[in-house]
Structure 1
Amino acid sequence: MRKRKRAIGNDIEEHIDESWLIPYADLLTLLLALFIVLYASSIVDKEKYNSLMEVFKSELTGTKIESQQAGLSPTLPIPEENQGLLEEETDEKTNDEELDVLKQQLESFINDNSLQDMVSLKTTERGIEVSLKDLILFDSGEAKLKGGSYQTLNGLIGLINTVSNPISIEGHTDNVPAYNLIYASNWELSAARAISVLKYFESQQIDANRMQFSGYGEYQPLYPNDSYEHRQANRRVNIIILREK
């Protein structure tokens, strides 16, 4: 009997107390969850943060998470203040592409109808500028459209209506005074010519709220008014398809 008692005593002495492993494992779990929360809180939005807190709560309490989408998002969220900027950049890029296509179509129209001497085209910061010499549109000193101008204007209208951009119609003259009972100055003549083009555009189904007009008279010449050719080039109506802002 004595011998058996010693054997039992030896078994008790040789057994190691492992109860400390449980709180140690809990501590490691808590630290892991804490680091996950700290990391995630710096890169996720409020909704994802709340989801992570649910994960943290689940680790502590052992409860089941109802949502299957709780946790980190595979991609970083876009801040709300930047979403508007991205949309604007996308819209601008799309509109620029549309204007590029329109310019190519206008170039083809000018070349196909042999209008190079009367109609010019260029791209500016404002948009696409179509410049028509007054000879193709008006008689000298007049602001009423000539009958022969309608075919050219109709071709331009068909192409311009493929985009929704605003349109500025701007009249220009040379520096020869407008000796006319109707128009007391080149300002008035240039403005009247711009209005005539605008009204015709409106009659051909271009929305009035897209259009504006200006009369610059002799004050924005392309060339010095020192020759017939230069004065002729300065007498013009510009149709600018403006970039959307």
Structure 2
Amino acid sequence: MRKQRNRFDEDHEEHIDESWLIPYADILTLLLALFIVLFASSTVDKEKYQSIMESFKSELTGTKIESKESGLSVNPSNTKTDEQTGKVPPAKEAAPAPSKEEVELNNLKEKLENYVKNNGLNAVITLQDTKRGVEISLKDVILFDPGKAELKSSSFKTLNVLVGLAKTVDNPISIEGHTDNVPIKNASYASNWELSSARAVSVLHYFESKKLTKKRLQFVGYGEYKPIYPNDTNAHKQANRRVNIVILRKA
């Protein structure tokens, strides 16, 4: 009888109370639900959400995740670069090619620059590429005697070069006379307007005599009213006395 009682006591001592597992499992479930809600409320993509859910499932159930890419780690984007795919990225849009007119005017200006440089004329001839066109500015001393509008014979060489280059294009040509603000003191011209106009006309007629198309030519006399410098020194006045030959752009 005593032996049977001892066996009962041993069985009773081996039994362990596992009732605490129920609230523990409830707590884990609540925590899992909380984390899922917090995660779902954040901005994530569908693939990352599925990956995390698979990780939870694996940890809680002990099942193996089949996909090697699943899990809590963040995987690189599936988007492949052009180098990986072998695709050639589209070329950037090239700047429009210069028009035929621009090419011709650029060549003309380059030849003019070489002529001026090679002949030491930088002090009396200046060049500009403007919105209007290629502007060739000649000081009056290279073309005329003071107060006169007849071309000096020494100017013919330079004018012949300009005519030859002007024939390489078909753009219109504007010939524009300018003076300083010193009033004219001879009977030939009533004002600087007349003097500047007469000088522009002299150049125009010379160009015409060298077979430049007449319809390409025009002239204007500005007198003293478009100076490039204030008429406050002799050097500035000399710079203002000029004839501009402008190879005009067509548009």
Q: Which band: TM-score by shorter chain?
A: 0.5 to 0.7
In 2: Cα distance, 1:171 partner to 1:202 partner: 17
Q: Percent identity?
A: 58
What corresponds to 2:131 in structure 1?
125
**DSSP-derived class of the 1:155 partner:** helix
In 1: Cα distance, 2:117 partner to 2:161 partner: 12
**Cα distance, 1:170 vs structure 2:** 0.1
**Cα distance, 1:210 vs structure 2:** 0.2
Q: TM-score, normalization: structure 2?
A: 0.61
What corresponds to 1:211 in structure 2?
217
What corresponds to 2:242 in structure 1?
236
In 1: Cα distance, 2:209 partner to 2:175 partner: 15
Deviations 1:146-186 (A, max 9, x none): 01000110111111110000000000000000111010100
Q: Tell me which of 144, 155, 169 is aligned to 1:163.
A: 169
Deviations 1:30-51 (A, max 9, x none): xxxxxxxxxxxxxxxxxxxxxx
Amino acid of the structure 2 residue aligned with 1:156: L
Amino acid of the structure 2 residue aligned with 1:181: A
More helix by share: 1
RMSD over equivalenced CA pairs, Å: 1.3
In 1: Cα distance, 2:138 partner to 2:186 partner: 23
Answering whether residue 190 of structure 2 is matched by residue 175 of structure 1, we say no
**DSSP-derived class of the 1:199 partner:** helix
Tell which structure's C-alpha radius of gyration is larger: 2
Q: Tell me which of 203, 207, 221 is aligned to 1:201.
A: 207
Q: TM-score, normalization: structure 1?
A: 0.62
Amino acid of the structure 1 residue aligned with 2:111: Q
Deviations 1:109-143 (A, max 9, x none): 11111110110000110000000000000000000
For structure 2, the residue ranges without an aligned partner over 5 or more in a row are 1-95
Q: How many residue pairs end up in the alignment?
A: 156
In 2: Cα distance, 1:131 partner to 1:109 partner: 14
